[in-house]
Amino acid sequence: MSREVKLSHEEVERVSLRAEGTKKGDNGNPKLSKDYPDMAIHSGYTVQTQQRRPKIEQGHAHIGCKEGETS
């Protein structure tokens, strides 16, 4: 049984940028779960929040959360 690992602020920034690049069509990135198999769910939500922040600052509305990215 593995323990959940909380990501540091720097790791959250790195993962957020990587995930955003994948959304824009850079499909060369493997699944985040392969590099961070023990990432705590709280860290995953923190990454999502980090990704939303620029869009909200631009005036976009946040409607709800999705629990995972579709491959």
Neighbours of 40 (CB within 10 A): 14
How many structural domains compose the chain?
1
In a domain, 49, yes or no: yes
Helix, coil or strand: residue 46:
helix
Per-residue pLDDT at 59: 92
Residue with the larger pLDDT of the pair 31 and 14: 14
Per-residue pLDDT at 14: 86
In a domain, 3, yes or no: no
In a domain, 2, yes or no: no
Nearest of 67, 13, 71, 6 to residue 36 by alpha carbon: 6
pLDDT tens-digit readout, 22-39 = 666 666 656 777 888 888
In a domain, 41, yes or no: yes
In a domain, 64, yes or no: no
Per-residue pLDDT at 6: 85
Q: Does pLDDT of 1 surpass 60? A: no
pTM value?
A: 0.59
